[in-house]
A and B are shown apart, each in its own frame.
Chain A
């Protein structure tokens, strides 16, 4: 299925590359006779990773926004935005390589990245070194933004672990699940969440973390860690995992007697892939909720309609249910629109100027919500604690908010 997707995607990528390369070549050859030179955006996504949907969701969000922007006259007085993509398959090395390549493209304004925080974290030195503007629509590790860069080229419109873990712990506590176990991926993302949880729990009695279990990437089973936490007295599991490992856990837990099935409160990584497909019917056997920053079902229709109008035209996404990995799509859309505003505000494709402009741009009326100033110097996080909600998967796989 992924292979098929890749096969379909490749020609599209090729076309996009040509669409960019042809004018570029024309520019090199002399003054263009056919329209203004596009302003290049890039996406370094986990394309090529089976079952992953996040990169595609981000891409569609960006393309939808670009379409809107370009239809409204583009940027910098009529220059269209164009997107090029690179796949990193969630592998850091690929991401780094992609960044090195992308950074050499002269008219490239910014690179979108996602969803895996470790990849982005690995890319940070290169981004800093190349002064490449990086926009994070989905990566949640705190360190991505709290990177110590001055100036900081990283901007995020996304969930942040520092927000997610307190929210999840709070929601667990709200449900009376005061003793929780942390089941974390043994990556920078996992460690980021542990730190966030620890920060949140410091000085608090409740809820309490009875234990922390780690799993490694590509572990075939998580039930041991689950049982370990359950044995430690966990009433709920706070899961920091991506879709495939989470699906494994869900199937394993669903195989347990109902009495031993603990509620699982999950970070949002599971929504970046074919989680429901992999988990299958087991998902309905388990109390599985997932943190989200937004749900299309909670967006006022008049605000969502223009986006769906474009997305429907481009990708057949007509209804909120049609939006796969909605956070990626919606965050990417808003982030692209914000970037376009910043470019225009900067009035140049110079990345430093655009970076500065991003800290100044606003107000912006977005799909998620309205932003007075999405970013500010010293604040490169566009979202805040108020933007959080819990959701669950319907039997048809559609993610719906939990009331």
Chain B
């Protein structure tokens, strides 16, 4: 709120520049848009009208055309029926008239007395030249069909010809009325004969032959008369025909007269020809009316909208100055206008409120600014405080880290510093034991060696932890026979267990798996030792079992057990239960820590189940893919190469005179000649005096003045190479347990030995150096098959 508000009107009106230009309709646009809605409305109405007109028209057309067709058919039938009735009437009148004529006494008289017929018969017959307005030709004949008189129609188109007379002559003998339909000159005629029967004679005495054009009997112009013998004319396409049988007097019934009325199949096109344009005109007029009407209605209805639009436009251009929209009527548009007004009211209210607030805000902001300044100062102080706290915390952490590092460093340094004297003690004790031989003090040397051994183990365990923490141990996976490991352990620990009064047994198994044999054995061994350590009676059982996808190696004991609260911590370094006095006999508390680290390194899981005073069960879970078919048992594994030191020259470089002397003594005791130097330069000088190059170089890792054994070895090798000698077997001896040192040493590629080393290891080195012989380069990585006496040797390499 304190920043500049771009939408805030400076004087209560919205500045035009604040509105996007496209949102403001120009006057020209307004002119264009004005009425567009109405036009659209009109167009939509028009389209709807067209659609409705088409729909209604089509429906009407379909319905009415069907209706029309039905009505048409009915009309045709009615017409046909009417025409048929008319024709029937005509035929009936005709036949009846002629029959009556035949009965007429004038004609009868004429049969007897034709004399004077011109005076009475001919005029009489002549009055019958039309019967029911139908032109008819009548001939009055005698019994043989010879004409006596006619009705005066013998000269026109309708005349009775010789053929007709012949037909009559053939008909008379039957003595009955006869009728036929003849076809002459393209016209059909009804030809009929009525016999003049005289009650006093046996056969007709005369006949009336009459002839009528069939067409004249049909009053309907489209109708025609059909008779039995006549094939109906083929019907033209799009025409329908209705045939009505005629009910006629008996004398004509043999003709099978039918009236046939032909009519177009659909109502006449004449009707359509004026209907369609008329409909079209009406439709066009209706659509025009719809358009104009809806346009007018639309423009009327959108008038308020246009006003609103103009109002909005004026507000957009001139700003809001209290304009109001006119509200007309009570429809959606008026609701819109009311809503618009309400919006304007709201805007006005907002403006008023803003103006009011503006003043308040100035005050508030001023106060706020003061407060903010105060708060900022306070926050500054707090921040400084926090920073100080953080720095303190960091410092505390650094102190803690330093403490921890110091601990580690101390531990490493302590162990290194311990290793140097222990190394010399070991070497000296070994040399002493060799020299004492069967001297009575030799038993003391044995005790010293036992103490030294315990000390070495402690240092090895610390070294192992360090190596594992340094990540320098990488598993060497191969096929391992678990049964062999079990057997070996059982062999090793059975006696120890028996000495303690407990039983140790392993369950034989033939399982083989892919694993690092040394590391795996170390894990199991540590667990077995742990069990042995905490079990005073009962027994220990080692076995394995297959689980789902895992192999479980389990060590049961009937020992003191582990209270639940300790379960989590038993795998920590130096943690021992029930050993507050740190009894050495109970170990160092590093075994399970090593187990834990090794298991994690190998991807195994270790867990424990225990009940205090009842016993514990440690389980090592190995994922099943590690299993493999039984492999050839590495027979050589157990093979012990007894060191057979020959005669060689060993160069010992160590700045610690005790260690240098101890090593020199031991090497010489083993029959080698030792050259001792305290630094690389000393070693090079000594070498120059030597006619023979050394077969073995043993260099302490840490030499004087920050030099390393690696540099010394390198310098020696370079010097020997210059003299044309092959490189000897080089070993770095280190007492460092700091992980980074170990890693550095191992990265050199030389063989590393960790202090303290035993005499046996020295003997092995001598042996290896001789064996490497001329191919010493290849012997830089001797196989670790010569496992050391001590457990730590497992971790080498």
Interface residues of A (CB under 8 A from B): 2-3, 6, 48-52, 89-94, 97, 116, 118-119, 121-122, 186-189, 191, 215-219, 244
Q: How far, in whole Å, are A191 and B116 apart by their CA atoms in the complex?
A: 10
Closest Cβ of chain A: how far from B114's Cβ, in Å?
Answer: 6
What B residues does A188 contact at CB under 8 A?
113, 115-116
Nearest A residue (CB) for B109: A217
Nearest B residue (CB) for A118: B113
Nearest B residue (CB) for A219: B105
Which of B105, B108, B201 contacts A89, CB < 8 Å?
A: B201
Asked if B200 is an interface residue, CB under 8 A from chain A, the answer is yes
What A residues does B142 contact at CB under 8 A?
91-94
In the A-B complex, the 9 residue pairs with the closest CB atoms: A93-B142, A216-B105, A118-B113, A187-B113, A50-B200, A218-B108, A217-B109, A89-B201, A188-B115
Nearest B residue (CB) for A49: B200
What A residues does B120 contact at CB under 8 A?
186
Also in contact, A217 and B143, with CB within 8 A (given A48-B202, A90-B112): no
Also in contact, A119 and B112, with CB within 8 A (given A93-B142, A94-B143): yes
Q: How far, in whole Å, are A91 and B196 apart by their CA atoms in the complex?
A: 12
Q: Mark B109-126, 1 if CB is under 8 A from A, else 0.
A: 101111110001000000
Also in contact, A217 and B202, with CB within 8 A (given A92-B114, A122-B113): no
Nearest B residue (CB) for A119: B112
Q: How far, in whole Å, are A213 and B106 apart by their CA atoms in the complex?
A: 15
Give me 27 A-to-B residue pairs in the complex whose CB atoms sit less than 8 angstroms apart, sorted by A's number.
A2-B200, A3-B202, A6-B202, A50-B199, A50-B200, A91-B112, A91-B142, A91-B205, A92-B113, A92-B142, A93-B111, A93-B142, A93-B144, A118-B112, A119-B112, A121-B113, A186-B109, A186-B113, A187-B112, A187-B113, A216-B105, A216-B109, A217-B105, A217-B109, A217-B112, A218-B108, A244-B200
What A residues does B116 contact at CB under 8 A?
188, 191
Interface centre among A48, A92, A191 (most CB of B within 10 A): A92
Question: Are B112 and A51 closer than 8 Å at their CB atoms?
Answer: no
Question: Are A121 and B115 closer than 8 Å at their CB atoms?
Answer: yes
Interface residues of B in 95-148 (CB under 8 A from A): 105-106, 108-109, 111-116, 120, 142-144, 146, 148
What B residues does A121 contact at CB under 8 A?
113, 115
Interface residues of B (CB under 8 A from A): 105-106, 108-109, 111-116, 120, 142-144, 146, 148, 198-202, 205-206
Q: How far, in whole Å, are A116 and B112 apart by their CA atoms in the complex?
A: 8
Nearest A residue (CB) for B200: A50
Q: How far, in whole Å, are A362 and B148 apart by their CA atoms in the complex?
A: 42
What B residues does A93 contact at CB under 8 A?
111, 114, 142-144, 146, 148, 205-206
Question: Are B114 and A122 closer than 8 Å at their CB atoms?
Answer: yes
Q: A48-B201, A116-B112, A217-B111 are in contact. List 15 more A-B contacts (CB 8 A).
A: A49-B201, A50-B201, A90-B200, A90-B201, A91-B142, A91-B205, A92-B142, A94-B142, A118-B115, A188-B115, A216-B106, A217-B105, A217-B109, A217-B112, A218-B198
Also in contact, A91 and B111, with CB within 8 A (given A188-B116, A216-B105, A218-B105): yes
What B residues does A119 contact at CB under 8 A?
112
Closest Cβ of chain B: how far from A273's Cβ, in Å?
Answer: 9
Closest Cβ of chain A: how far from B101's Cβ, in Å?
Answer: 13
Nearest B residue (CB) for A3: B202
Which of B114, B143, B199, B202 contacts A218, CB < 8 Å?
A: B199
Question: Are B199 and A92 closer than 8 Å at their CB atoms?
Answer: no
Q: How far, in whole Å, are A51 and B576 apart by their CA atoms in the complex?
A: 174
Give the number of A-B contacts (CB < 8 Å). Answer: 86
Q: How far, in whole Å, are A122 and B109 apart by their CA atoms in the complex?
A: 13
Nearest A residue (CB) for B204: A91
What A residues does B105 contact at CB under 8 A?
186, 215-219
Closest Cβ of chain B: how far from A91's Cβ, in Å?
Answer: 5
Nearest A residue (CB) for B141: A93
Nearest B residue (CB) for A50: B200
Q: How far, in whole Å, are A118 and B106 apart by their CA atoms in the complex?
A: 14
Closest Cβ of chain A: how far from B620's Cβ, in Å?
Answer: 151
Closest Cβ of chain A: how far from B687's Cβ, in Å?
Answer: 186
What A residues does B206 contact at CB under 8 A?
91, 93
What A residues does B114 contact at CB under 8 A?
92-93, 118, 122
Q: How far, in whole Å, are A118 and B146 apart by their CA atoms in the complex?
A: 18
Question: Are A92 and B200 closer than 8 Å at their CB atoms?
Answer: no
Q: How far, in whole Å, are A95 and B106 apart by their CA atoms in the complex?
A: 19
What A residues does B146 contact at CB under 8 A?
93
Closest Cβ of chain A: how far from B370's Cβ, in Å?
Answer: 152
Also in contact, A91 and B200, with CB within 8 A (given A116-B112, A187-B113, A218-B105): no
Question: Are A217 and B201 closer than 8 Å at their CB atoms?
Answer: no
Q: How far, in whole Å, are A90 and B143 apart by their CA atoms in the complex?
A: 12
Nearest B residue (CB) for A91: B205
Q: How far, in whole Å, are A152 and B566 apart by their CA atoms in the complex?
A: 186
Closest Cβ of chain B: how far from A216's Cβ, in Å?
Answer: 3
Nearest A residue (CB) for B142: A93
Closest Cβ of chain B: how far from A215's Cβ, in Å?
Answer: 8
Q: How far, in whole Å, are A36 and B144 apart by their CA atoms in the complex?
A: 37
Question: Are A97 and B202 closer than 8 Å at their CB atoms?
Answer: no
Q: How far, in whole Å, are A122 and B144 apart by their CA atoms in the complex?
A: 16
Closest Cβ of chain A: how far from B132's Cβ, in Å?
Answer: 25
Nearest B residue (CB) for A243: B200
Nearest A residue (CB) for B103: A218
Question: Are B198 and A89 closer than 8 Å at their CB atoms?
Answer: yes
Which of B111, B201, B202 contacts A92, CB < 8 Å?
A: B111
Nearest B residue (CB) for A6: B202
Q: How far, in whole Å, are A297 and B116 apart by their CA atoms in the complex?
A: 40
What A residues does B108 contact at CB under 8 A?
216-218
Q: How far, in whole Å, are A6 and B201 apart by their CA atoms in the complex?
A: 11
What A residues does B113 contact at CB under 8 A?
92, 118, 121-122, 186-189, 217
Nearest B residue (CB) for A214: B109
Interface centre among B109, B113, B148 (most CB of A within 10 A): B113
Q: How far, in whole Å, are A267 and B111 apart by their CA atoms in the complex?
A: 22
What A residues does B199 contact at CB under 8 A?
50, 218
Also in contact, A97 and B109, with CB within 8 A (given A89-B198, A89-B205, A188-B115): no
What A residues does B115 contact at CB under 8 A?
118, 121-122, 188
Q: How far, in whole Å, are A52 and B200 apart by their CA atoms in the complex?
A: 9
Closest Cβ of chain B: how far from A158's Cβ, in Å?
Answer: 18
What B residues does A189 contact at CB under 8 A?
113
What A residues does B205 contact at CB under 8 A?
89, 91, 93-94
Q: How far, in whole Å, are A186 and B201 apart by their CA atoms in the complex?
A: 20
Q: How far, in whole Å, are A215 and B109 apart by their CA atoms in the complex?
A: 10
Q: How far, in whole Å, are A97 and B206 apart by their CA atoms in the complex?
A: 14
What A residues does B106 contact at CB under 8 A?
216
Interface centre among B111, B116, B206 (most CB of A within 10 A): B111
Q: How far, in whole Å, are A2 and B105 apart by their CA atoms in the complex?
A: 23
Interface centre among A6, A49, A186 (most CB of B within 10 A): A186
Nearest B residue (CB) for A191: B116
What B residues does A3 contact at CB under 8 A?
202
Q: How far, in whole Å, are A90 and B113 apart by their CA atoms in the complex?
A: 9
What B residues does A49 contact at CB under 8 A?
200-201
What B residues does A216 contact at CB under 8 A?
105-106, 108-109
What A residues does B112 contact at CB under 8 A?
90-92, 116, 118-119, 187, 217
What B residues does A191 contact at CB under 8 A?
116
Q: How far, in whole Å, are A39 and B263 apart by their CA atoms in the complex?
A: 75
Closest Cβ of chain B: how far from A94's Cβ, in Å?
Answer: 6
Closest Cβ of chain B: how far from A147's Cβ, in Å?
Answer: 12
Q: How far, in whole Å, are A81 and B397 apart by their CA atoms in the complex?
A: 189
Interface centre among B108, B112, B116, B206 (most CB of A within 10 A): B112
Q: How far, in whole Å, are A189 and B115 apart by their CA atoms in the complex?
A: 10
What B residues does A94 contact at CB under 8 A?
142-143, 205
Q: How far, in whole Å, are A51 and B148 apart by their CA atoms in the complex?
A: 26
Q: How far, in whole Å, are A244 and B199 apart by their CA atoms in the complex?
A: 11
Q: How far, in whole Å, are A89 and B203 apart by their CA atoms in the complex?
A: 10
Q: How far, in whole Å, are A51 and B199 apart by their CA atoms in the complex?
A: 11
Which of A6, A89, A187 contacts B109, CB < 8 Å?
A: A187
Closest Cβ of chain A: how far from B9's Cβ, in Å?
Answer: 128
What A residues does B144 contact at CB under 8 A?
93, 97
